[in-house]
Structure 1
């Protein structure tokens, strides 16, 4: 088959690779219904994080099971499934505690910007629907597998509560999903920090009540103005840069919570400053598997439409253009059609 391979910064190719096959009895092979490009894929694409040789790209996926290993019990061929970007057994003590992204058997999914993919730990990683979803549901189900699940975790980690005030730092796909999550979790005031008109519009559609375009100290001052000098009790950090983390910390009130889900690059903390700030922090790789059943149900019931975050749809053989469009901020998130 053909699949997406990153050969170096800016060098993405759709080229022939070996077909995936069962390597362990706990594996499954799925036929992708669609896949997409993640903001985190741009780090190696830009040369900001290294790779050891050519890298098979992609970790967001949904599709139909075509084959399972001999020890797979809960998943069977013919089922439509969604999986997390973190592979987990869903039975270890960390999984049982709701942190499947720290599973003792943890692996990170890769190679799904392709028509077919191998999914290790299939029983623990994949969640099947009762029926085959309609074609118009595919973008929304695809968004659940990472970007919505990550935004949702950001909101949960930020302790978003009904009636609360939330600030979301970052207007990429994860930040926009953080806005949606905050709205679904009952926040009454959701302040999205965004400078881009198209993203501001989508943020409002997803539930943002206020938009703050300023950054840095000006951005923090604007948040303080909107919250009567108090700050927000919940802040979602969805970028992973030093400036965005400082904005998140500065926008959060004492005793408040920061959920940080942007993959960090160059972020550091001053221990003395954090000691006196008195702010809770929880983040890291999202335990998407914890949220999959609920989020899939919300999508299938028509309560949320996270697939609207895909503002560029391309055939998978044009994947290089998808990376370029996201790198140049001409697209929020690119969906790749595999058939």
Structure 2
């Protein structure tokens, strides 16, 4: 079978790899129909995160169950499924508490020795606990929106929840990537009264407004605070989502938060600990909450709205390619010619 592999900085290839297969009785084999490139994949693409030469890559997918192990009880061949970016076994204390990303048996698609999502098929461990079955009559046009539940839509939701967004909230989103834009959708769904997005890319402003942003500010990180204080008459925002993961973004998120405010941080950290001003957080009674997203917990709650069209993150996908064009899809995102690349297989 074919799959995307990474061999070094900016060296993405589509190669033949061993076929996905049942290795344990709780496994399922899923034929992938839709996958995508994540902003976090770019850290490896740029050489900022180490990968073994030839390692599989990608952690978001939708597909069709092709085979199941003897102990799989809830899935059948032919079922369409969406997968969270982490697999988990479903019965440990953390899974039961809704935190499958802390499961001792967890794993990530694309880990060394594991199948990556950007390929023709995937072996899914703990299939009953990990995969979420879709209705048999799901509209094909909804599949890009469903795919977003693998990671970025759930991650935006996690950021909004960490920021304490609810009816009437005044929300700032730091970052206009796919996660930041999905945080806008999530904040609007949770009842925010006003949403401001702080980003760098003029081309993404239209998507931000379509998703529910009232204000879009194009500014470098150093000037975000001044813009935010002007918008709030010096008070700051009660809810802030940090959706980048850099030190500058965390510093900006801290600076724009109102006293007593909450910061939901979901950007994968890359030095962002240097942007945490503990004195400012202490003096202004700020709360910092978030971390890695328990997507498997959120998918069932968000899926109904996605299938009905009430929640539609599909516009984050502005480039669609086939599997063989994956290297071009990575390059397009790296060069900011695409927000998020959808791979149809």
TM-score (norm 2): 0.95
Once the two structures are TM-superposed, the CA of residue 329 in structure 1 deviates from its matched residue by 0.5
| SS at structure 1 position matched to 2:176 | coil
Once the two structures are TM-superposed, the CA of residue 276 in structure 1 deviates from its matched residue by 2.3
Once the two structures are TM-superposed, the CA of residue 211 in structure 1 deviates from its matched residue by 1.1
CA–CA distance in structure 1, aligned partners of residues 220 and 289 of structure 2? 23
Once the two structures are TM-superposed, the CA of residue 215 in structure 1 deviates from its matched residue by 2.6
Worse-matched range after superposition: 154-163 or 326-335: 154-163
CA–CA distance in structure 1, aligned partners of residues 27 and 222 of structure 2? 49
CA–CA distance in structure 1, aligned partners of residues 98 and 171 of structure 2? 23
After superposition, give the CA deviation of every residue in 1:97-125 in whole Å (9 maximum; x if it has no partner). 22121122211122110111111111111
CA–CA distance in structure 2, aligned partners of residues 51 and 157 of structure 1? 30
CA–CA distance in structure 1, aligned partners of residues 92 and 163 of structure 2? 25
Once the two structures are TM-superposed, the CA of residue 270 in structure 1 deviates from its matched residue by 4.2
CA–CA distance in structure 2, aligned partners of residues 247 and 271 of structure 1? 14
Q: Stretches of 4+ moved more than 6 A in 1?
A: none
For residue 163 of structure 1, the aligned residue among 161, 164, 168 is 168
Within 5 Å, which residues of 2 pair with 1:9-20?
A: 9-20=9-20
CA–CA distance in structure 2, aligned partners of residues 271 and 172 of structure 1? 26
Once the two structures are TM-superposed, the CA of residue 141 in structure 1 deviates from its matched residue by 0.8
Contact 2:251-2:277 at 8 Å conserved across structures? no
For residue 135 of structure 1, the aligned residue among 127, 137, 140 is 140
For residue 180 of structure 1, the aligned residue among 185, 200, 204 is 185
Once the two structures are TM-superposed, the CA of residue 271 in structure 1 deviates from its matched residue by 3.7
User: Is 2:337 the counterpart of 1:337?
Assistant: no
Could you say which residue in structure 2 is the equivalent of 1:72? 72
Could you say which residue in structure 1 is the equivalent of 2:285? 278
CA–CA distance in structure 2, aligned partners of residues 211 and 130 of structure 1? 36
User: Is 2:318 the counterpart of 1:311?
Assistant: yes
User: For this pair of structures, how many residues does the alignment match?
Assistant: 338
Gap runs ≥5 in structure 2:
111-115
After superposition, give the CA deviation of every residue in 1:217-260 in whole Å (9 maximum; x if it has no partner). 42111111111211111111110011001011111112111111
Once the two structures are TM-superposed, the CA of residue 76 in structure 1 deviates from its matched residue by 1.7
User: Is 2:333 the counterpart of 1:295?
Assistant: no
Worse-matched range after superposition: 155-164 or 326-335: 155-164
Contact 1:33-1:138 at 8 Å conserved across structures? no
CA–CA distance in structure 1, aligned partners of residues 285 and 242 of structure 2? 17
CA–CA distance in structure 1, aligned partners of residues 320 and 264 of structure 2? 30
Gap runs ≥5 in structure 1:
none
User: Is 2:93 the counterpart of 1:86?
Assistant: no
User: Is 2:208 the counterpart of 1:203?
Assistant: yes
After superposition, give the CA deviation of every residue in 1:124-144 in whole Å (9 maximum; x if it has no partner). 111112314222111111111
TM-score (norm 1): 0.97
Worse-matched range after superposition: 124-133 or 141-150: 124-133
CA–CA distance in structure 2, aligned partners of residues 153 and 185 of structure 1? 11
